Structure 1
Amino acid sequence: MPVAKQVKGKGFYDCISYVLDKDEKEILESNLSGKTPSALNKKFELCCRLNQKVRFKVYHASLSFPPEDEVDDEKLKAIAHDYLYGMGFGEEQPDLEQLEKEERIKDKDKMFGDKSLAVPYLVVRHDDTENKHIHIVAGRVRHDGSCVSSYWDYRKSEQVLRMLEDYHGLSSPQGAIALKNLRKILDRCREECSNFDDLKEMLREQSVNVYSKNNGIVYGYKDKHYKGNTLGAKYTLQGMSKVLQQRGIEKYQSPPPRLDVENETIRAELETHRDTLERILKEEQVENFKGKHYEVQRNKKSLIITKIDNPEEKVKWVKPAPTMPWILSNFKFTEDTFNDFSEKMRTTRENLEKMEKDRVLKEEAVRKQQEIQEKLATVGTQTAPPSRRRGR
């Protein structure tokens, strides 16, 4: 399971210096001459002069591999090439959505074969950590002067990594497998459904729930929730609208109304609910609690209430310092959710108050019983006849 991190910058020299300033390193591949930061910097800068409108011309990615992934230098070079090409550093951006559907014949060292990269690049292996990893430095200006798009690059990176895992035989995380299965379900339902109502019903049969979220869609699958834009452009509300009829779409286009969190009455009620929750957590000696409808998470700096069937709906307080009061920092309950939560909290508070009242009454009864027993013991001592000694 390779892990990728990517950043963009304005200057090559510092980036190249960082990559080469390691004792345990090896330059695996580059299409530039030179092996020092100064020499390579001049080459990168020269290539990027073809389009001086590009401000963030530096692309830096690191790919890290766990010990179970046996990757030699040749495979690392192939992976670096495929990653860059998949990210759009060739002549054009490949259609990743289509490539994910295709069955690829693994008859070549590189997934994209002999297709060449259209930018200056450098690949360096580092051996200074337990996990073998490589650094890729590339220019974002192609040989024809066009700029490599950064649109949805983190989503593209995830897509490319999953394809590399399959093609190069690398380990794959469970989360990635779940995402891949969810996309397959959605693709099948997109083809078979004609409108949003049918889509929701068919997805429910596949154990996938669909929720509305501020003019968008959230999918619930395998105890996780995924936003449409996390899965890809075609799984967003806009993407789904391109292939489905509009019937049922109003449920997603018109998000439920949210309450005015600045309302003093609502804020006062929220503070009462928070006090009640803190009391429950303290008495139970726990920090987290998951009920049937809501989950509560608390630590020294925050307290969060989340609606279980729609995690987008939550309320969060923060505590900047132990001596400072709680501050309401996030309120995303709809009116219906707030009313439901308030009703449950009022019932809980009433039960707690009743339990507290019963406890006080029992303690009072025990105290009175003890007082009566003490008085009886005192009276018994006072009325007892004094002992007399008879003379002889």
Structure 2
Amino acid sequence: MPVAKQVKGKGFYDCISYVLDKDEKEILESNLSGKTPSALNKKFELCCRLNQKVRFKVYHATISFPPEDEVDDEKLKAIAHDYLYGMGFGEEQPDLEQLEKEERIKDKDRMFGDKSLAVPYLVVRHDDTENKHIHIVAGRVRHDGSCVSSYWDYRKSERVLRMLEDYHGLESPKGAIALKELRKILDRCREECTNFDDLKEMLREQNVNVYSKNNGIVYGYKEKHYKGNTLGAKYTLQGMSKVLYPLGLDKYDNPPPRLDIEDKAIRAELETHRDTLERILREEQVDNFKGKHYEVQRNKKSLIITKIDNPDEKVKWVKPAPTMPWILSNFKFTEDTFNDFSQKMRTTRENMEQMEKDRVLKEEAVRKQQEIQEKLATVGTQTAPPSSSRRRGR
């Protein structure tokens, strides 16, 4: 499932310099000539002179793809084109609501076919992170001098991404089916319920669990968790509140306070737990380990511990460079979760230490038994009577 971030700015040069100032990059597509920040900046600025009233003329979007999405350069270009066109950077804004209802025949590489964009744009692929992602830089002034509207562009982006996800197959078939099933279940339950408590009970009967997050909501379905804003605006806490009575929403509107991560004692204890987690992964010879309550994932640059029943509660360590120690970059445990996690980690560490002691004692016992057997064998050889030999007669 792709994720998009949007930023608007006043000047093109800094944005283009950031996008192109990477060793692991590739310019995929552009309708402007030039490959340097200076040359491209002049082209962008020239195109945007058609409307001097637009202050925030720079549009910068980053679309990131999970490892399971197989996207080559041709598909990335098609996705970038469809995303920009769906966001209104063509001659006109397409009717997304109508398009969602229509059955689209996937007979073209691009969802919007050969419809051209009406703004200057640049698409660059970056390979400096584990997740493949592209940067899209575009002007918000069209060729006719009109400005691309930014009205509700974040909700619009969610809708466009869901359409691209379906059209370009940006999720495994199993995952895509699960998302559609979850949305249908939520739609049906929303219509039949009057308050949030009833909704939770009905969703539980459909094997959907609801969890609180920081002023938000998370749905658990088929061993995966989906944030409300990932599913769409109407599935967020705010969207649900518009059609349900507030009964049962207090827990979600007022989440428990977070811990103060600046406390040195907390940092020190977390570092101890990190060593325990790394030892578990090392002994199991795996990079991902899922327990009953917590899951730990390790890669070259990070170590993440996540609460199973609420993935928004997590701790993340990052290794910025080979010569530098791990640093704590993200801490989202509540006090209750932290205390529970610490207790389980201490118990796990004690059990592992006891197992190590038992292993050492067992090896020592085996070693002593072998020494005794070797001594007995040596003594037996030394005390054995000499073998008699017959005298040969004449």
TM-score range, shorter chain: 0.5 to 0.7
Shift, 1:281, TM fit: 2.2
Structure 1 371/113 Cα, relative in aligned 2: closer, same or farther at 3 Å? closer
1:149 maps to what in 2?
149
Structure 1 153/368 Cα, relative in aligned 2: closer, same or farther at 3 Å? same
Shift, 1:248, TM fit: 0.8
Of 176-185 and 134-143, deviating more is: 134-143
Shift, 1:273, TM fit: 1.9
Structure 1 307/12 Cα, relative in aligned 2: closer, same or farther at 3 Å? closer
Structure 1 200/146 Cα, relative in aligned 2: closer, same or farther at 3 Å? farther
Shift, 1:245, TM fit: 0.8
Shift, 1:289, TM fit: 1.4
Per-residue Cα deviation, 1:221-266 (whole angstroms, up to 9, x for no partner): 3433222222332222122212211111111111123222233333
Matches of 1:355 and 1:67 in 2, distance apart?
Answer: 37
2:324 maps to what in 1?
324
Q: Which secondary structure state, in structure 2, belongs to the residue aligned with residue 78 of structure 1?
A: helix
Structure 1 38/267 Cα, relative in aligned 2: closer, same or farther at 3 Å? closer
Structure 1 207/144 Cα, relative in aligned 2: closer, same or farther at 3 Å? farther
Q: Which secondary structure state, in structure 2, belongs to the residue aligned with residue 143 of structure 1?
A: coil
> Could you tell me the percent identity over the aligned residues?
93
1:244 maps to what in 2?
244
Structure 1 22/363 Cα, relative in aligned 2: closer, same or farther at 3 Å? closer
Conservation of the 8 A alpha-carbon contact between 1:162 and 1:172: no
Conservation of the 8 A alpha-carbon contact between 2:32 and 2:121: yes
Q: What CA RMSD, in Å, does the superposition of the two structures yield over aligned residues?
A: 7.6
Conservation of the 8 A alpha-carbon contact between 1:293 and 1:307: yes
Conservation of the 8 A alpha-carbon contact between 2:158 and 2:232: no
Conservation of the 8 A alpha-carbon contact between 1:162 and 1:176: no
Conservation of the 8 A alpha-carbon contact between 1:3 and 1:65: yes
Conservation of the 8 A alpha-carbon contact between 1:86 and 1:93: yes
Structure 1 108/274 Cα, relative in aligned 2: closer, same or farther at 3 Å? closer
Per-residue Cα deviation, 1:189-243 (whole angstroms, up to 9, x for no partner): 2222211112222222333222111101122234332222223322221222122
Matches of 1:130 and 1:370 in 2, distance apart?
Answer: 51
Matches of 1:352 and 1:108 in 2, distance apart?
Answer: 57
Structure 1 254/388 Cα, relative in aligned 2: closer, same or farther at 3 Å? farther
Q: Which secondary structure state, in structure 2, belongs to the residue aligned with residue 313 of structure 1?
A: strand
Matches of 2:328 and 2:131 in 1, distance apart?
Answer: 41
Conservation of the 8 A alpha-carbon contact between 1:27 and 1:123: yes
Shift, 1:128, TM fit: 23
Conservation of the 8 A alpha-carbon contact between 1:261 and 1:331: yes
Matches of 2:128 and 2:347 in 1, distance apart?
Answer: 58
Conservation of the 8 A alpha-carbon contact between 2:195 and 2:245: yes
Structure 1 346/378 Cα, relative in aligned 2: closer, same or farther at 3 Å? same
Shift, 1:44, TM fit: 8.9
Residue segments in structure 1 that go unaligned for 5+ positions in a row = none
Conservation of the 8 A alpha-carbon contact between 1:300 and 1:322: no
Per-residue Cα deviation, 1:330-370 (whole angstroms, up to 9, x for no partner): 22122222222222222222222222222232233344445
The 5-angstrom pairing of residues 43-54 of structure 1 reads: 48-49=48-49, 51-54=51-54
Structure 1 332/366 Cα, relative in aligned 2: closer, same or farther at 3 Å? same
Q: Which secondary structure state, in structure 1, belongs to the residue aligned with residue 113 of structure 2?
A: coil
Shift, 1:22, TM fit: 21
Shift, 1:312, TM fit: 1.3
Structure 1 69/369 Cα, relative in aligned 2: closer, same or farther at 3 Å? closer
Give the TM-score normalised by the residue count of structure 1.
0.65
1:103 maps to what in 2?
103
Per-residue Cα deviation, 1:262-314 (whole angstroms, up to 9, x for no partner): 33333332222222222222222222212222211223432211122222111
Q: Which secondary structure state, in structure 1, belongs to the residue aligned with residue 268 of structure 2?
A: helix
Residue segments in structure 2 that go unaligned for 5+ positions in a row = none
Of 169-178 and 10-19, deviating more is: 10-19
Structure 1 92/348 Cα, relative in aligned 2: closer, same or farther at 3 Å? same
Structure 1 203/325 Cα, relative in aligned 2: closer, same or farther at 3 Å? same
Conservation of the 8 A alpha-carbon contact between 1:165 and 1:172: no
Structure 1 205/142 Cα, relative in aligned 2: closer, same or farther at 3 Å? farther
Conservation of the 8 A alpha-carbon contact between 2:155 and 2:233: no
Per-residue Cα deviation, 1:111-159 (whole angstroms, up to 9, x for no partner): 9999999989999999999999999998634699763233564653563
Q: Which secondary structure state, in structure 1, belongs to the residue aligned with residue 289 of structure 2?
A: strand
Matches of 1:27 and 1:374 in 2, distance apart?
Answer: 72
Structure 1 54/177 Cα, relative in aligned 2: closer, same or farther at 3 Å? farther
